[in-house]
Amino acid sequence: MNVLLHGINILPEFQTYIQQLIQTLERQGIRVVITKSLHQSMGKGAKKNALPPLLNANEPVSGLDFVLSIGGDGTLLDTISLIGAHQTPILGINTGRMGFLATIAKEEIDLAIKDLLAGRYSLEDRSLVCLESNIPLFGGMNFGLNEFTIHKRDTSSMITVHTYIDGDYLNSYWADGLIVSTPTGSTGYSLSCGGPLISPLAKNFVITPVSPHNLNVRPIVVSDDSEISFKIEGRSEKFLVSLDSRSTPIDARVTLKVKKEKFVARLVKFHNYSFFDTLRQKLNWGYDMRN
């Protein structure tokens, strides 16, 4: 079995857990490789010659059986960019705060590895959003797990985003921006802008305006079989578009269309995991602030 470990800026207090994880995997006869970013983080608190080898730039990611993403949800999003269309199963180990995607706490690492090796898990396919444009954007990594966003670039006046569903005119949003969220991303930026929560396996996109000028404009849920296209207007010549945490400036001449990506992100889920339990815990549902 081949396992890749990926992490970004690991804090010193978590490095001991990662070293124990590596030792546990290697004792089971598992070949472990790590990414350059994790190697650099671990090099601050561990002897570099004691760490597993680096994943070479020309080494096929498709040869991996699992990827362990060590960090928060942002690290897991970065891991999905690394894996791309290979659809390698990803297990998220949480060293961050929210942990909607990276659900394994550091105290649960040993049990999680035992369950993984014993096959006591399932794979959950999460849909991705794909961006198409008339110029290359994001270095060819034109997909995201959480959302695609159009946003004004600076503190200038609001922008107008003319939006179409399968070629049919939907609305012109006067706003600071517009979000197209996947079900997975419904707990992220879209939620903070008033968007609804959606079960991760639903077949939908959510279109959520960011600070709209018209207060009667509300988020709308559409089928993820839809193709959503945009035309942008504004006083500024430049706008920002983003896929998850990656962003780039564009101008109004760039054509933009989003749809569901052909491949998916494949997440490892253990049998005691429940999305609804996670919602209650992370959002403090049912918690009485008076107590």
Q: Could you tell me the two tokens for 217?
A: 């404009």
Q: How far is CA 197 from CA 8, 205, 262, in A?
A: 28, 11, 23
Arithmetic mean of pLDDT over the chain: 89
Given this model, what pLDDT does residue 52 score? 84
Given this model, what pLDDT does residue 100 score? 80
Residue 199 annotated in ligand binding? no
Given this model, what pLDDT does residue 183 score? 97
Given this model, what pLDDT does residue 272 score? 82
| Average of per-residue pLDDT across 281-285 | 80
- Count Cβ neighbours within 10 Å for each residue of 65-102 and write b for 16 or more, e otherwise: ebbbbbbbbbbbbbbbbbbbeeebbbbbbbbbeebbbb
**Integer Cα distance of 205 and 198 in angstroms:** 9
Q: pLDDT category, 59, cuts 50, 70, 90?
A: low
Residue 277 annotated in ligand binding? no
Q: Which of 39-53, 65-79, 146-160, 238-252 has the lowest mean pLDDT?
A: 39-53
State the pairing for strand pair 66-71/246-251. Answer: unpaired
CA 221 remoteness from chain centre: 20
Given this model, what pLDDT does residue 228 score? 98
Residue 115 annotated in ligand binding? no
**Integer Cα distance of 182 and 143 in angstroms:** 11
**Integer Cα distance of 276 and 23 in angstroms:** 33
Q: What is the pLDDT of residues 184-227, one digit of tens each?
A: 999 999 999 999 999 999 999 999 999 999 889 999 999 999 99
Residue 188 annotated in ligand binding? yes
Given this model, what pLDDT does residue 57 score? 58
Residue 73 annotated in ligand binding? yes
The domains located in the chain, with CATH, are 2-127+264-282 (3.40.50.10330), 129-260 (2.60.200.30)
Q: Could you tell me the two tokens for 148?
A: 């695609």
Q: What is the pLDDT of residues 232-267, one digit of tens each?
A: 998 888 899 999 989 999 998 999 999 999 999 999
Residue 189 annotated in ligand binding? yes
Kindly list the catalytic residues: 73
Residue 223 annotated in ligand binding? no
Residue type, 144: G
Residue 74 annotated in ligand binding? yes
Residue type, 169: Y
Q: Could you tell me the two tokens for 30?
A: 């598992």
Question: Residue 48: is its pLDDT beyond 60?
Answer: no
Q: Could you tell me the two tokens for 117?
A: 């090796």
Q: pLDDT category, 14, cuts 50, 70, 90?
A: confident
Q: pTM for the full model? A: 0.90
Given this model, what pLDDT does residue 291 score? 53
Q: What is the pLDDT of residues 95-137, one digit of tens each?
A: 877 678 888 888 888 899 999 999 999 999 999 999 999 999 9
Question: Residue 56: is its pLDDT beyond 70?
Answer: no
